[in-house]
Amino acid sequence: MPHITTQAIVLRHADYREHDRMLTLFSPTLGRVEALCRGCKKVGSPLLNCSEWFAFGEYVLYTGKGRMTVVSCNLTESFYALRSDWDKLKYATYMLSVCEAMVQPNEQNVHLFTLLVRSLSRLCYQDKDARAVTAAFLLHAASIGGYRPRLSHCVKCGRRLDDTEIRHFDPEDGGLVCPPCSEMMDRLLSLSPRENAWMRDVLTVGIDKTELPTDDAPAALLSAFLEERLEKPIRHKGLF
């Protein structure tokens, strides 16, 4: 059918001609979608707010001549408050970049879509540490992508580790490395027992229920880990 109705979030936009934009949309059922939004930059256009970053709503798309075009949108949420907090805006934009790197065209990803909406809502409306929320997002995004980290056993020898032995994390194999195995390896990331405990707790109960300190969230490690698994860099200047 030429017309498709889908929920979507705007991951990116680029100016196209004088009054148009090209949108990169994340749809839970269609995956990553490139769509032209005609006339959205005109004064008074009903599509202006729907063509901004973070715009979340029900989009009607027309498919024709090998291109998708936004026909209309019923905006659900703009997450406008993010624009008034530079720190939160940086982390929220980074989340969009992660999703753009992970999501493929014509590939359903309902779980990642739901995670993104909930994470943006936490940043926008809850008094939570932005860095910790982003770390939790990365941790769950990795799990959704099939990269759930191993946080109890050494990824090399398989031995279960206690807290006194937790010092290193291997981003390539995705898990802890015991001290003896780490002596034979390069490119390991430092990991403290408190950071490991934070990840295990967030995977178990979620960011909203964990009582562990936000300072223990290893955001930089999780960013490096996900980039390693995706085999592509994600811009995060000044975040970690």
For residue 126, name the pLDDT band (cuts at 50, 70, 90).
Answer: very high
For residue 236, name the pLDDT band (cuts at 50, 70, 90).
Answer: confident
Phi-psi region of 183 (alpha: psi -120 to 50; beta: other; left: phi over 0): alpha
Tokens of 138: 């990365």
- Rounded Cα distance between 166 and 33, Å, is 42
Do 81-230 and 3-77 have the same topology in CATH?
A: no
Per domain, the residue ranges of the chain are 3-77, 81-230
* pLDDT value at 177 more than 90: yes
Helix 219-230 to helix 130-144 angle (10° resolution) is: 30
For residue 66, name the pLDDT band (cuts at 50, 70, 90).
Answer: confident
Q: What is the pLDDT of residue 67?
A: 86
* pLDDT value at 231 more than 90: no
Listed in sequence order, the residues at least 6 apart from 93 whose beta carbon sits closer than 8 Å to its beta carbon are: 53
Q: Are 168 and 189 in contact (CB under 8 A)?
A: yes
Return mean pLDDT, the chain.
Answer: 94
- Fold of domain 81-230: de novo design (two linked rop proteins) (1.20.1440)
Over range 174-178, report the average pLDDT: 96
Q: What is the pLDDT of residue 16?
A: 87
Over range 107-134, report the average pLDDT: 97
Over range 204-212, report the average pLDDT: 96
Look at 45-49, 165-169, 182-186, 223-227 and tell me which has the smallest mean pLDDT.
182-186
Looking at the chain, the whole-number percentage of residues with pLDDT higher than 70 is 100
Q: What is the pLDDT of residue 199?
A: 98
* pLDDT value at 238 more than 80: no
Over range 198-217, report the average pLDDT: 97
Q: Are 99 and 134 in contact (CB under 8 A)?
A: no
Q: What is the pLDDT of residue 187?
A: 85
* pLDDT value at 168 more than 80: yes
Q: What is the pLDDT of residue 184?
A: 86
CATH of domain 3-77: 2.40.50.140
Q: What is the pLDDT of residue 1?
A: 55
How many other CB atoms sit within 10 Å of the CB of residue 84? 8
pLDDT tens digits along 146-162: 999 999 999 999 999 99
